Chains A and B, each alone.
Chain A
Amino acid sequence: MTRLVAGLRWVVFLLAVLILNIPVIVTLLTSLKTTLDINAYPPVWLFAPTLEHYGTVLTDPALDFPRYLMNSTVIALGGTVLALGLGVPAAYAMAKLGKGTTTILPVVTNLRALPLVIFAIPFYLLYQALGLLDTRLGLALISCIINLPLALILLVGFLQDLPQEIEEAARVDGASTFAVLRHIVLPLARPVLVAVAILSFIYSWNEFLFGLILSTRNAVPVTVGATFFITSWGVKWGATAAAMMLSVLPPLLLGLVSYRYLGRAMLAGAVKG
């Protein structure tokens, strides 16, 4: 009886994983099929895999795909570095010096709950005036804004739990705030910094709305570039599927490798936000 129940639980688990991940599985299979197999009816599940579509997507000069990948990488890394660069010192001031905890912190954390589209129009106008439209810098700045709430929530939470005695010893020896931050706090905070960095990267990589609005050619990220495939490449499903797989791979791999951190961090970021 208990073995039957345990078996049933496994069935439920496998079914859930299969159904939840079916888009990725089907896209992966499609990307590995020849065009002939893609068009087969009824669908074939067993076939001789081919990497030709990946070759097409990565080398065809008519497609700008490698550039989209590069853009997303630069934007996501830039946004992450900016969010940490602004967030770490500010979080320290909030958690350890008690500054801005009742003013800036709530403003930033509440940002998370606001619909992003509210900022879309003014950002378009601002970027047009500043010449930031269709630039990676412009989109990295947006990524930073999107990731700041999460970064601050996680960092302030971590620093508040960090015992005061640890830095007090250094303070007695006359260390400046900068030295304490650099030599004591940062090394201790490595796990939370990694969690923030990975989540920021994933969220920035997956961002779509601002990419759609603020980029047209040069700075187009993969999320937006992928939609171009549908209109201009409507029939070439193999190439579209290959592009899709390459686009979701970085966040998927990051998620798989670091699900332990991420689960907890995502929850904390969402619940306290």
Chain B
Amino acid sequence: MASAAGIGRRPYEGRWDGLWLLGPLLLFLALLLGFPAVANLVYSLSEVRFTGLWSPRWVGLDNYATVLADPAFWGAVGFSARFAVVVTVAQLLLGFALVLALDPLIAKRRWLMAFLLLPMMVSPALLGVMYRLMLNDFVGVIPQYLQLVGFSGNLLDADWAFTTVAVIEVLQWTPFAVLALLTAYQAIPGELVEAARIDGAGSWSVFRRITLPLMVPALAITGFIRFIDSFRVFDHIYVLTGGGPGTLTQSLSIYIYRTFFQQERIGPAVAASMLLLLASIVVLRLLMAQMLRGSRG
């Protein structure tokens, strides 16, 4: 910590080094994260209105009870979980397939990666707007071509909205899976594959017995990162469907946003945030422990 007490100080360290090096960051964090932490806790236990933000009325756990009894909350939890699982699995499969297909090409020409990584540079919100343009009934390329093949449905209606927002997420972030998996794939020692081939192993058994087992840690870590990122999805869904039709594509992030800004139910919205925080911490701890054990075993 930033104590200037001098215990454990390095011989060359100035008396105030810890303070001026770490102090600004600590102050910044205390102000900008400390307040939100306290505010979240207090407001989640209070009834409060936009007109009296500084005079919250204590209501105990009422807000939590309200949220936990709200079917829309559970709908949002369900959507986020389903969405995260579906897009994570799709990204891993697609990313791995692309790595296997493209490694010989990219190994010799690193610059090809630049074009594969581009989608990640695009703001998800702007990507959402671009798809609005592409999905527009009158000028959009997608409906126009779909009409040519005889499909006249709307890709943002109740039947298709989930698929549409999931496909967009997969297309934007599969490059991340390619990047992460390619690094791991290229780290597999060539001699290992050579030796197996000399012993008469076919392509499939090399993949099955050498490549796949060695890729498991990278697949797990990549999947973990993509899962937590897509579980909190907000931007492109908000822009494309606003969580609709109805609440069909309402992720937990959108649920919290709507509850606060559109319905102005501050207490329940904050309580939902706290539940999300709690769930995140629990899930993170569990997965971390799991992965640590996995990487040792």
Q: Is the CB of A93 within 8 A of B273?
A: no
Query: Within the assembled complex, what's the spacing in Å between the Cα atoms of A99 and B8?
Result: 10
For residue B114, CB closer than 8 A to chain A, the reply is yes
Chain A 1-39 near chain B by CB (<8 Å), digits 1 or 0 = 000001001101100110111111011001000000011
Q: Is the CB of B131 within 8 A of A23?
A: yes
A241-B133, A267-B179 known; A20-B53 Cβ under 8 A: no
Q: Is the CB of A27 within 8 A of B133?
A: yes
Q: Which residue of B lies closest to A226 (CB)?
A: B129
Q: Which of A78-121 contact B (CB under 8 A)?
A: 85-87, 89-90, 92-94, 96-100, 103-104, 107-108, 110-111, 113-121
Total interface residues in chain B, CB < 8 Å: 95
Query: Within the assembled complex, what's the spacing in Å between the Cα atoms of A145 and B28?
Result: 9
Q: Is the CB of A114 within 8 A of B22?
A: no
For residue A240, CB closer than 8 A to chain B, the reply is yes
User: Which label, helix, strand, loop or mixed, suits the secondary structure of the B interface?
Assistant: helix
Task: Collect the chain A residues with CB atoms within 8 Å of residue B37's CB.
Answer: 122
A104-B25, A206-B123 known; A24-B118 Cβ under 8 A: yes
Q: Which of B63-71, B141-149, B152-160 contacts A (4 or more CB under 8 A)?
A: B141-149
Neighbour of B40 across the interface among A90, A122, A223, A262, CB < 8 A:
A122
Interface band, chain A: 35 or more
Task: Collect the chain A residues with CB atoms within 8 Å of residue B118's CB.
Answer: 20-21, 24, 252, 255-256
Q: Is the CB of A226 within 8 A of B125?
A: yes
Q: Is the CB of B129 within 8 A of A20?
A: no
B110 to nearest A CB, angstroms? 7
Q: Is the CB of B183 within 8 A of A267?
A: yes
A104-B29, A227-B239 known; A270-B225 Cβ under 8 A: yes
A26-B134, A122-B40, A252-B118 known; A117-B253 Cβ under 8 A: yes
Chain A residues close to B by CB (< 8 Å): 6, 9-10, 12-13, 16-17, 19-24, 26-27, 30, 38-39, 41-43, 85-87, 89-90, 92-94, 96-100, 103-104, 107-108, 110-111, 113-126, 128-129, 141, 144-145, 148, 168, 171, 176-177, 202, 205-209, 212-213, 222-224, 226-227, 229-230, 237, 240-241, 244, 247-248, 251-252, 254-256, 259-260, 262-263, 266-267, 270-271
A-B contact pairs, 10 of them (CB 8 A): A9-B101, A24-B118, A30-B139, A99-B22, A117-B252, A118-B280, A122-B43, A223-B125, A244-B130, A263-B117
